[in-house]
Amino acid sequence: MYDLRHTRLTMWLNNGIPPAQVAEWAGTSVAMLFATYAQCISGQEQDLRQRLDEITDASATLIA
């Protein structure tokens, strides 16, 4: 049973479901979720860097 829960929560986190939502669905706090699952989250760095670049580009456009 625990393995299924772990797999499901890890899958949600790795697919970009916001941690606050995953914690709510799991019936736990975000702090506890991260304490348990932070090491399992992978594959999001490229997406996050792209989002940061988009924010930076949008900010530069507004300033100019």
The band of 28, judged by pLDDT with boundaries at 50, 70 and 90, is very high
Mean pLDDT of the chain: 86
* Residue 33: per-residue pLDDT: 93
pLDDT of 50 above 70: yes
Rounded Cα distance, 55 and 61, in Å: 10
Ordered DSSP codes for 26-48: HTS-HHHHHHHHGGG--S-HHHH
Give the mean pLDDT of 25-29: 96
Highest mean pLDDT: which range of 14-18, 39-43, 59-63: 14-18
